[in-house]
Amino acid sequence: MGFVQALLAMDYRPVPLSASAEEKVVDIGIQRTLDAIAERGAPARVLLASHDGDYIPQIERLLQAGVQVGVFCFREFLNTQLAALELEGLELFDLELDVRAFTSPLPRVRIIPLEEFDPQQFI
């Protein structure tokens, strides 16, 4: 319970859920929460940390409702259908490059747009 106490101390509200072993309890809880936010509509902002496509229907509904939605990710691992929602207004935040969540460069292989290429980083 130390982690939960730490969250409470930072004014976060943990929501402990339970389900059968066959159910993806965290995914279902997040999906239901995203649906509830979409029902409320804008103004709202949602940031999700995920690479998979489990939340695509909910993210589409949020965007259609005018909600500002962002995803924390490593772009090279992002589900392609989820990445395609960038054209619909989804904002993508690379954990290393945009968020700067790490103190040193990660050993990643990623496609670099030519306009961002800095040869000094590779010599």
The domain spanning residue 118 has which CATH number? 3.40.50
Is a pLDDT exceeding 90 seen at residue 81? yes
83 domain residue, yes or no: yes
17 domain residue, yes or no: no
Average pLDDT in the 46-61 region? 96
1 domain residue, yes or no: no
63 domain residue, yes or no: yes
Average pLDDT in the 86-94 region? 97
Range in 10-14, 36-40, 72-76, 106-110 the model is least confident about: 106-110
> Which range marks the domain in which residue 112 is found?
22-122
pTM of the prediction? Answer: 0.81
57 domain residue, yes or no: yes
79 domain residue, yes or no: yes
Domain count, the chain: 1
45 domain residue, yes or no: yes
In angstroms, the CA 4 to CA 7 distance is: 5
